C-alpha cells in the first residue's frame, strides 16, 4: 500500500513506516496476515489516547485562562470523544488505509466510526514516537482547532445531559432516562451504544468509548434536533 498520499494529508513524513503500518492495523487482521505477524494498533492507541489528552489539556489551559476546571474538562471531553476523532479520521480517509480481516472489511469496517477513531489515536501515538512531542502538538492543533472553535462558539462544552434534562423538565415531563442498547469490542476497548428515552420513547442514540460519553452524545443529538 502506498502511504505517500496519507502522509501528505497528515502533514507528517514518517521516518519509521513500521509505526505507520502498525497504527493502521486492526486486531482482526492478525489472523490473516502472513508471517511474521504484525502487531495491532491497540498499544499505539493506548499511547495516543494519553498523548492527545495531555496536548489538548495543555492547549486549553493556555488558551482559556479564565475557564474553570469543569468547563475545561467538558471542552476536552468534546474534543477527544469518538465522534470528533472519527470525523477527523474521515477527513483523512483513514478507513481506506486500514488493515482489516476480510470479514471485518465486508461488514463495513472501513466506515466503522469506532475503528476510525481508534486508528486516529493510534496515529497520534505513532507520530509521537516517530517525530516527538512538537510535531504531534502541531498535528493536533491543525486537526482539532476547527472543532474547538465550533465548541466555543456554540457553547457545546456545557454538559449536554444537564441541558437536556432542564429543557425536558421545563415542559413538566419526567427527566430523560438512558439505556445501553449495545456494546462491542474486547473488555479493554469496548464501544457503547446508548439510547435516551422520554416516556419510554427513544429520542436518539449515542456512541462512545464509555457509557457516559455515549449518554452525552445521545443527549447532544436530541438537543441538535430540538434547535432545528
**Is 121 assigned a catalytic role?**
yes
Cα angle vertex 198, ends 182, 167, to 5°? 120
Q: Pick the catalytic residue: 45, 49, 104, 213?
A: 49
CA distance 122 to 88: 13
DSSP 8-state assignment for residue 11? T
Residue 138 CB coordination number (10 Å): 15
Q: Is the peptide bond before 36 cis (omega within 30 degrees of 0)?
A: yes
Concerning whether 104 is annotated as a catalytic residue, the answer is no
Count of beta carbons in the 10 Å neighbourhood of residue 75: 23
Cα distance between residue 53 and residue 77, in whole Å: 9
Catalytic residue among 104, 121, 130, 217: 121
The alpha-carbon radius of gyration of the chain (Å, integer) is 19
* Residues acting as catalytic residues: 49, 121
Amino acid at each position: 500500500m502506498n502511504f505517500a498520499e496519507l502522509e501528505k494529508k497528515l502533514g507528517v513524513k514518517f521516518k519509521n513506516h513500521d509505526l505507520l503500518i502498525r497504527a493502521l492495523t486492526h486486531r482482526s487482521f492478525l489472523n490473516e496476515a502472513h508471517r511474521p505477524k504484525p502487531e495491532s494498533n491497540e498499544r499505539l492507541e493506548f499511547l495516543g489516547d494519553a498523548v492527545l489528552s495531555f496536548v489538548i489539556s495543555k492547549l486549553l489551559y493556555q488558551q482559556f485562562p479564565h475557564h474553570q476546571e469543569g468547563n475545561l474538562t467538558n471542552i476536552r471531553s468534546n474534543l477527544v470523544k469518538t465522534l470528533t476523532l472519527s470525523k477527523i479520521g474521515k477527513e483523512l480517509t483513514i478507513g481506506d488505509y486500514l488493515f482489516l480481516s476480510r470479514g471485518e472489511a465486508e461488514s463495513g469496517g472501513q466506515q466503522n466510526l469506532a475503528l476510525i477513531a481508534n486508528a486516529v489515536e493510534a496515529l497520534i501515538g505513532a507520530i509521537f514516537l516517530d517525530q516527538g512531542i512538537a510535531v504531534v502538538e502541531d498535528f493536533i492543533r491543525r486537526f482539532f482547532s476547527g472543532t474547538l472553535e465550533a465548541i466555543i462558539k456554540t457553547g457545546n462544552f456545557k454538559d449536554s445531559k444537564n441541558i437536556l434534562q432542564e429543557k425536558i423538565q421545563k415542559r413538566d415531563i419526567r427527566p430523560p432516562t438512558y439505556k445501553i442498547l449495545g456494546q462491542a469490542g474486547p473488555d479493554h476497548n469496548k464501544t457503547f451504544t446508548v439510547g435516551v428515552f422520554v416516556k419510554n420513547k427513544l429520542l436518539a442514540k449515542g456512541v462512545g468509548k464509555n457509557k457516559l460519553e455515549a449518554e452525552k452524545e445521545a443527549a447532544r443529538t436530541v438537543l441538535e434536533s430540538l434547535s432545528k
